[in-house]
């Protein structure tokens, strides 16, 4: 039987993977210089990853239970970095959309955009690690 507590684990893995792959595609496009296909793929993955992050954050906020003790402290850390991930990916994506719209992808704005996406990648990695710690060390959801 599917309960609402399963929504968060079901949704959260997509933005982790999509944001990570989008960042790697953009990084490869930067290294390979003339590879525009990877950059375009990274752009769309960033947009899809942001949408997925919104749903993953919402599912965690609305459909997970409160926790006590050490698990509660770990959940608070996880929630803090999830919020940081959500804010950073929204900012990075909006900035990237503006850069693409203004046709400034060949300027230093591209590096700032990649830096913002890297920050999102770091935050989503930390958030995923803390979420995994909740599941494995505290047996949450098992």
- pLDDT at residue 85, as a whole number: 97
- pLDDT at residue 1, as a whole number: 66
- pLDDT at residue 3, as a whole number: 77
| Tokens read off for 18 | 């999509």
- pLDDT at residue 66, as a whole number: 83
Q: What is the pTM of this model?
A: 0.92
Could you tell me if 46 and 19 are in contact, meaning their C-beta atoms sit under 8 angstroms apart?
yes
- pLDDT at residue 141, as a whole number: 65
**Phi, psi of 140, rounded to the nearest 5 degrees:** -75, 130
- Listed as ranges, residues in the chain with pLDDT below 50 are none
Helices (H), 64-108: 69-101
Residue range(s) defining the domain that contains residue 106: 4-138
- Work out how many domains the chain is built from and give that number: 1
- pLDDT at residue 35, as a whole number: 78
* Interatomic CA distance for residues 15 and 56, integer angstroms: 8
- pLDDT at residue 42, as a whole number: 96
């Amino acid at each position: 039987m599917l309960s609402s507590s399963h929504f968060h684990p079901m949704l959260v893995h997509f933005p982790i993977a999509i944001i990570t792959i989008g960042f790697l595609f953009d990084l490869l496009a930067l290294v390979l210089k003339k590879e525009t296909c990877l950059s375009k793929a990274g752009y769309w993955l960033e947009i899809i990853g942001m949408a997925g992050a919104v749903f993953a954050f919402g599912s965690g906020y609305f459909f997970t239970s409160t926790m006590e003790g050490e698990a509660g402290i770990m959940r608070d850390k996880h929630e803090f970095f999830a919020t940081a991930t959500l804010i950073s990916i929204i900012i990075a994506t909006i900035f990237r959309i503006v850069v693409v719209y203004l046709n400034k992808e060949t300027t230093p704005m591209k590096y700032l955009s990649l830096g913002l996406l890297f920050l999102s990648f770091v935050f989503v990695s930390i958030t995923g690690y803390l979420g995994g710690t909740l599941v494995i060390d505290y047996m949450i959801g098992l």
